[in-house]
A and B are shown apart, each in its own frame.
Chain A
Amino acid sequence: DVVMTQSPLSLPVTLGQPASISCRSSQSLVYSDGNTYLNWFQQRPGQSPRRLIYKVSNRDSGVPDRFSGSGSGTDFTLKISRVEAEDVGVYYCMQGTHWPRTFGGGTKVEIK
Protein backbone atom coordinates (compact mmCIF):
# COMPACT_ATOMS: atom_id res chain seq x y z
CA ASP A 1 0.00 0.00 0.00
CA VAL A 2 1.07 3.60 -0.58
CA VAL A 3 2.15 5.26 2.65
CA MET A 4 1.25 8.93 3.02
CA THR A 5 3.38 10.86 5.50
CA GLN A 6 2.25 14.27 6.71
CA SER A 7 4.16 16.86 8.69
CA PRO A 8 3.95 18.51 11.07
CA LEU A 9 1.60 16.64 13.38
CA SER A 10 0.52 19.89 15.01
CA LEU A 11 0.68 23.43 13.64
CA PRO A 12 0.03 26.36 15.98
CA VAL A 13 -0.50 29.49 13.88
CA THR A 14 -1.12 33.16 14.63
CA LEU A 15 -4.27 34.57 13.04
CA GLY A 16 -3.45 36.24 9.74
CA GLN A 17 -0.19 34.37 9.35
CA PRO A 18 0.56 31.70 6.71
CA ALA A 19 0.60 27.97 7.33
CA SER A 20 2.08 25.11 5.35
CA ILE A 21 1.51 21.35 5.56
CA SER A 22 3.68 18.76 3.84
CA CYS A 23 2.54 15.40 2.48
CA ARG A 24 4.85 12.79 0.99
CA SER A 25 3.89 9.52 -0.67
CA SER A 26 5.94 6.32 -0.76
CA GLN A 27 5.25 5.94 -4.51
CA SER A 28 4.60 8.28 -7.39
CA LEU A 29 0.98 9.42 -7.57
CA VAL A 30 1.02 10.00 -11.32
CA TYR A 31 -1.73 7.86 -12.83
CA SER A 32 -1.63 6.28 -16.28
CA ASP A 33 -3.90 9.05 -17.59
CA GLY A 34 -1.24 11.61 -16.71
CA ASN A 35 -3.16 13.05 -13.76
CA THR A 36 -1.89 13.11 -10.19
CA TYR A 37 -4.69 12.24 -7.79
CA LEU A 38 -3.67 13.93 -4.57
CA ASN A 39 -6.48 15.36 -2.47
CA TRP A 40 -6.60 17.51 0.65
CA PHE A 41 -9.40 17.39 3.22
CA GLN A 42 -10.36 19.59 6.13
CA GLN A 43 -12.15 18.27 9.21
CA ARG A 44 -13.38 20.96 11.57
CA PRO A 45 -14.11 19.92 15.17
CA GLY A 46 -17.28 17.86 15.38
CA GLN A 47 -17.85 17.88 11.63
CA SER A 48 -17.54 15.50 8.71
CA PRO A 49 -14.48 15.93 6.51
CA ARG A 50 -14.79 17.99 3.36
CA ARG A 51 -12.55 18.03 0.34
CA LEU A 52 -10.64 21.26 -0.26
CA ILE A 53 -8.23 20.42 -3.07
CA TYR A 54 -8.22 17.73 -5.77
CA LYS A 55 -5.59 16.73 -8.35
CA VAL A 56 -2.88 18.52 -6.37
CA SER A 57 -3.92 22.11 -6.93
CA ASN A 58 -7.61 22.44 -7.87
CA ARG A 59 -9.85 24.07 -5.27
CA ASP A 60 -13.31 22.62 -4.73
CA SER A 61 -16.33 24.87 -5.10
CA GLY A 62 -16.72 27.28 -2.21
CA VAL A 63 -13.18 26.85 -0.92
CA PRO A 64 -11.57 30.22 -0.15
CA ASP A 65 -8.65 31.18 -2.35
CA ARG A 66 -6.37 31.46 0.68
CA PHE A 67 -6.05 27.67 0.35
CA SER A 68 -3.66 26.42 -2.29
CA GLY A 69 -2.09 23.11 -3.18
CA SER A 70 1.13 22.36 -5.00
CA GLY A 71 3.60 19.59 -5.66
CA SER A 72 4.32 16.72 -7.97
CA GLY A 73 5.31 13.08 -8.01
CA THR A 74 5.67 12.20 -4.34
CA ASP A 75 5.97 15.57 -2.62
CA PHE A 76 2.98 17.84 -1.98
CA THR A 77 2.09 20.92 0.04
CA LEU A 78 -1.08 22.59 1.29
CA LYS A 79 -0.73 26.28 2.07
CA ILE A 80 -3.05 28.68 3.85
CA SER A 81 -1.98 32.22 2.96
CA ARG A 82 -3.57 33.89 6.01
CA VAL A 83 -5.05 31.67 8.68
CA GLU A 84 -8.52 32.56 9.92
CA ALA A 85 -10.32 31.26 13.02
CA GLU A 86 -12.58 29.03 10.90
CA ASP A 87 -9.53 27.17 9.57
CA VAL A 88 -8.98 25.39 12.90
CA GLY A 89 -9.21 21.64 12.48
CA VAL A 90 -7.36 18.64 11.15
CA TYR A 91 -6.10 18.47 7.59
CA TYR A 92 -5.51 15.21 5.72
CA CYS A 93 -3.94 14.38 2.41
CA MET A 94 -5.16 11.31 0.53
CA GLN A 95 -3.87 9.60 -2.57
CA GLY A 96 -6.51 8.67 -5.11
CA THR A 97 -4.21 7.00 -7.64
CA HIS A 98 -3.61 3.54 -6.21
CA TRP A 99 -5.86 0.96 -4.55
CA PRO A 100 -6.41 0.91 -1.66
CA ARG A 101 -6.73 4.64 -1.15
CA THR A 102 -4.65 5.88 1.77
CA PHE A 103 -4.67 8.94 3.98
CA GLY A 104 -1.91 10.80 5.74
CA GLY A 105 -2.02 10.80 9.52
CA GLY A 106 -3.41 14.33 9.74
CA THR A 107 -2.13 17.76 10.78
CA LYS A 108 -3.93 19.63 13.54
CA VAL A 109 -4.08 23.38 12.89
CA GLU A 110 -4.73 25.50 15.95
CA ILE A 111 -4.54 29.16 16.80
CA LYS A 112 -1.68 30.31 19.02
Chain B
Amino acid sequence: EVQLLESGGGLGQPGGSLRLSCAASGFTFSSYAMSWVRQAPGKGLEWVSGISNSGANTYYTDSVKGRFTISRDNSKNTVYLQMNSLRAEDTAIYYCAKTAQLDSWGQGTQVTVSS
Protein backbone atom coordinates (compact mmCIF):
# COMPACT_ATOMS: atom_id res chain seq x y z
CA GLU B 1 0.00 0.00 0.00
CA VAL B 2 1.31 3.42 -0.97
CA GLN B 3 1.85 5.72 2.00
CA LEU B 4 2.97 9.34 1.87
CA LEU B 5 3.62 11.14 5.15
CA GLU B 6 4.24 14.88 5.07
CA SER B 7 5.92 16.78 7.89
CA GLY B 8 7.63 20.07 8.56
CA GLY B 9 4.66 22.38 8.41
CA GLY B 10 3.95 25.03 11.01
CA LEU B 11 4.10 28.75 11.54
CA GLY B 12 6.57 30.65 9.39
CA GLN B 13 7.45 34.32 9.42
CA PRO B 14 7.01 36.47 6.31
CA GLY B 15 10.37 36.39 4.58
CA GLY B 16 11.33 33.28 6.52
CA SER B 17 11.87 29.65 5.57
CA LEU B 18 10.37 26.23 6.14
CA ARG B 19 11.33 22.81 4.81
CA LEU B 20 8.65 20.24 4.15
CA SER B 21 9.39 16.52 3.95
CA CYS B 22 7.39 13.66 2.50
CA ALA B 23 8.36 10.14 3.50
CA ALA B 24 7.18 7.51 1.03
CA SER B 25 6.63 3.79 1.42
CA GLY B 26 4.84 0.93 -0.31
CA PHE B 27 6.38 1.45 -3.74
CA THR B 28 9.77 1.72 -5.46
CA PHE B 29 10.32 5.40 -4.72
CA SER B 30 13.28 5.88 -7.05
CA SER B 31 11.16 4.83 -10.06
CA TYR B 32 8.57 7.60 -9.79
CA ALA B 33 8.33 11.34 -10.14
CA MET B 34 6.85 13.19 -7.18
CA SER B 35 4.80 16.35 -6.79
CA TRP B 36 3.69 18.97 -4.28
CA VAL B 37 0.21 20.51 -4.39
CA ARG B 38 -1.24 23.11 -2.04
CA GLN B 39 -4.67 24.28 -0.98
CA ALA B 40 -5.19 27.69 0.58
CA PRO B 41 -7.98 28.00 3.17
CA GLY B 42 -11.37 27.58 1.49
CA LYS B 43 -9.79 27.51 -1.98
CA GLY B 44 -9.11 25.01 -4.71
CA LEU B 45 -6.06 22.90 -5.49
CA GLU B 46 -2.88 24.50 -6.82
CA TRP B 47 -0.02 22.44 -8.26
CA VAL B 48 3.25 23.77 -6.82
CA SER B 49 6.20 21.70 -7.96
CA GLY B 50 7.34 18.40 -9.44
CA ILE B 51 10.55 16.40 -9.65
CA SER B 52 11.58 13.53 -11.91
CA ASN B 53 12.45 10.14 -10.49
CA SER B 54 16.20 10.80 -10.61
CA GLY B 55 15.91 14.39 -9.42
CA ALA B 56 17.49 15.68 -12.62
CA ASN B 57 14.40 17.61 -13.71
CA THR B 58 12.37 19.98 -11.57
CA TYR B 59 9.31 22.08 -12.31
CA TYR B 60 7.56 24.95 -10.52
CA THR B 61 4.50 27.11 -10.78
CA ASP B 62 5.39 30.73 -11.51
CA SER B 63 4.40 32.08 -8.09
CA VAL B 64 7.06 30.01 -6.29
CA LYS B 65 9.91 30.05 -8.83
CA GLY B 66 13.08 31.36 -7.26
CA ARG B 67 11.68 30.92 -3.75
CA PHE B 68 10.89 27.20 -3.44
CA THR B 69 13.19 24.28 -4.24
CA ILE B 70 12.08 20.69 -4.64
CA SER B 71 14.58 17.89 -4.09
CA ARG B 72 14.63 14.21 -3.23
CA ASP B 73 16.79 11.63 -1.50
CA ASN B 74 16.13 8.25 -3.07
CA SER B 75 18.19 6.51 -0.38
CA LYS B 76 15.74 7.82 2.21
CA ASN B 77 12.56 7.55 0.10
CA THR B 78 11.87 11.19 0.82
CA VAL B 79 10.99 14.26 -1.21
CA TYR B 80 11.48 17.77 0.14
CA LEU B 81 10.16 21.25 -0.49
CA GLN B 82 12.44 24.05 0.70
CA MET B 83 10.34 27.17 1.04
CA ASN B 84 12.20 30.50 1.30
CA SER B 85 11.06 34.12 1.26
CA LEU B 86 7.69 33.05 2.60
CA ARG B 87 4.65 35.21 1.91
CA ALA B 88 1.21 35.32 3.51
CA GLU B 89 -0.24 33.88 0.31
CA ASP B 90 1.83 30.70 0.82
CA THR B 91 -0.48 29.81 3.72
CA ALA B 92 -2.06 26.49 2.76
CA ILE B 93 -2.20 22.78 3.32
CA TYR B 94 0.67 21.24 1.38
CA TYR B 95 0.13 17.78 -0.07
CA CYS B 96 2.74 15.40 -1.40
CA ALA B 97 1.60 13.25 -4.31
CA LYS B 98 3.04 10.32 -6.22
CA THR B 99 3.96 10.79 -9.88
CA ALA B 100 3.36 13.76 -12.14
CA GLN B 101 -0.23 12.55 -12.54
CA LEU B 102 -0.86 12.58 -8.76
CA ASP B 103 -2.07 9.01 -8.42
CA SER B 104 -1.73 8.88 -4.61
CA TRP B 105 -1.79 11.66 -2.02
CA GLY B 106 -0.62 12.19 1.53
CA GLN B 107 -2.73 13.65 4.33
CA GLY B 108 -1.11 17.08 4.03
CA THR B 109 0.77 19.42 6.33
CA GLN B 110 -0.43 22.89 7.30
CA VAL B 111 1.78 25.89 6.60
CA THR B 112 0.81 29.25 8.05
CA VAL B 113 2.78 32.37 7.21
CA SER B 114 2.12 35.16 9.65
CA SER B 115 3.96 37.57 11.91
Contacts and interface: CB of A to CB of B under 8 A. Distances in A.
Contact of B44 (A1, A54, A105): A105
Contacts of B23: none
Nearest to A37: B101
Interface residues of B, number: 21
Interface in A24-72: 37, 39, 41, 43, 48-51, 54, 60
A100 B102 contact: no
A99 B59 contact: yes
Interface residues of A, number: 23
Nearest to A47: B107
A102 interface: yes
Interface stretch (B14-22, B45-53, B67-75, B81-89): B45-53
Contacts of A76: none
A51 B45 contact: no
B105 A49 contact: yes
Contacts of B78: none
Interface string A89-106: 010101010011111111
Given A49-B102, A103-B44, A103-B45, 11 more contacts: A48-B105, A48-B106, A49-B45, A51-B101, A90-B44, A92-B44, A94-B45, A99-B50, A100-B62, A101-B47, A106-B45
11 contacts: A1-B62, A41-B45, A48-B107, A49-B95, A50-B105, A51-B101, A92-B45, A96-B100, A101-B50, A104-B44, A105-B44
Interface of B: 35, 37, 44-47, 50, 59-62, 95, 100-108
